[in-house]
Amino acid sequence: MNSYMLYQSSVATALTGHAAAIYPLLRTALESACYGYVMRTDTAIECLWLNRHDSETATKAARKAFTSAVNDAADAIGAAKSHPGTAAIIKQAYQQAIDWGAHPNPRSILKNMQDPQDIGTHIQVDLTGLHNVGSLEYERSLLACLDFGMLLGIVIIHSLTHVSPETVQKLRDLNDIKEALLESEFPETYAAMGPLAH
């Protein structure tokens, strides 16, 4: 549920043009889905999560157990599927969310800045916070939301005790719709996006 709410927020934020603000939401949405997966597969870890505020020791134990939740969930899902590349895609998406803005780093900050200008009394630095509809950053943020939506679906579906063939087919149908949309609306971007989208 937390993953879903954060994902909804990322889409709403992307539609405002606040491109930099979606990546912390997408990263945390993926992390939340992976937490759920890890807890579903290990009740001891679920207990650590539920009791994390009982003491400082409990907090440290929970932090240690969940530090590798994304990698652990990705590896387990990759091993459970007939396509082991799924693990790499989940890990790549998580890292890309960090690179594009979930953490402050050169790629996430400098792409929104113009070159500093010496205007005599001081140096002026312009920063773009809101991107207009049709701009590269606006479109990139919507594409990221589409891709993360599918990854969240994959992680969440693997967290269920029983998954009907109909549910799996609906997820595949959604992915086909997403791929067709990307290819028709963003043909150049789609061709250059690589394995995360395809």
190 against 13, higher pLDDT: 13
The single residue listed with the structure tokens 């994959």 is 154
Longest dimension (CA), the chain: 67
Which of 20-29, 53-62, 106-115, 138-147 has the weakest average pLDDT? 106-115
Q: Hey, what are 55's tokens?
A: 């003491």
- CA 3/CA 16 separation, integer angstroms: 20
Instruction: Give 142-157 pLDDT, tens digit per residue.
Output: 989 988 999 999 899 8
**pLDDT band with cut points at 50, 70 and 90 for residue 197:** very low
- CA 167/CA 150 separation, integer angstroms: 13
Q: Hey, what are 25's tokens?
A: 């939401």
What's the CA dihedral at 126, 104, 78, 34 to 10 degrees? -110
| Cα dihedral sign, 141-147-150-151 | negative
The single residue listed with the structure tokens 């061709």 is 191
- CA 156/CA 159 separation, integer angstroms: 5
The pTM assigned to this predicted structure is: 0.85
CB 145 within 8 Å of CB 194: no
Which of 33-42, 84-93, 104-113, 150-159 has the weakest average pLDDT? 104-113
- CA 153/CA 70 separation, integer angstroms: 14
